[in-house]
Chains A and B, each alone.
Chain A
Amino acid sequence: MIKQLADLLVYQWMGIQSGTMLGDSLNFFFYDTMKIFLLLSVIIFGVAVIRSFFPPERARKLLGNRREYVGNLLASLLGIVTPFCSCSAVPMFIGFLESGLPLGVTFSFLISSPTVNEVALVMLWGLFGWKIALLYIGTGVTLAFFSGIVIGKLKLESQVEDYVYRMKLGEMAAIEPTWRERVEYARDYTKDILNRVWLFVLIGIGFGAWIHGYAPVDLVLKYAGRGNPFAVIVAVLIGIPLYSNAAGTIPIVQALVEKGMPMGTALAFMMSIVAISTPEMIILRKVIKPRLIAIFVGIVSVAIVLIGYLFNAVL
Chain B
Amino acid sequence: MKKIEILGMGCVNCNKLYQNVLAAVKMSGKEAEVTKVEDIQKIMAYGVMSTPALVVDGVVKVAGKVPKPEQIKGWIE
For residue B27, CB closer than 8 A to chain A, the reply is no
Task: Tell whether A171 is near chain B: CB-to-CB under 8 Å.
Answer: yes
CB pair A169 B62 closer than 8 Å: no
Interface 9-residue window, one of A15-23, A80-88, A245-253:
A80-88
Report yes or no: A172 in contact with B48, Cβ–Cβ below 8 A: yes
Q: Could you tell me the distance in whole angstroms from the C-beta of B35 to the nearest C-beta in chain A?
A: 17
CB-contact partner of A185 in B12, B45, B65, under 8 A: B65
State how many residues of chain A have any CB contact under 8 Å with chain B.
25
A57 and B63 within 8 A (CB): yes
User: Which listed residue (A171, A172, A188) contacts B63, Cβ 8 A?
Assistant: A172
**Cβ-based interface call for A168 (8 A):** yes
Question: How far, in whole Å, are A57 and B64 apart by their CA atoms in the complex?
Answer: 10
Give every chain B residue within 8 A of A169 (Cβ-Cβ).
Answer: 44-45, 47
**Count, chain B residues at interface, CB 8 A:** 25
The residue in chain B whose Cβ has the minimal distance to the Cβ of A171 is B47
Residues of A within 8 A of B50 (CB): 55-57, 83, 85, 88, 91-92
Residue of A167, A168, A172, A286 with highest tally of chain B CB at under 10 A = A172
Known: A94-B40, A167-B41, A173-B59. A88 touches B64 (CB 8 A): yes
Which residues of chain B (42-75) have a CB below 8 Å from chain A?
Answer: 43-51, 59-66
Known contacts A57-B47, A88-B64; 11 additional CB pairs below 8 A are A56-B50, A83-B64, A87-B9, A87-B51, A90-B40, A91-B48, A95-B44, A167-B41, A169-B44, A175-B60, A175-B63
Name 6 interchain pairs, CB-CB below 8 A, sorted by A.
A55-B63, A57-B47, A90-B40, A91-B48, A94-B44, A172-B60
Residues of A within 8 A of B (CB): 55-57, 60, 83, 85, 87-88, 90-92, 94-95, 98, 167-173, 175, 185, 188, 286
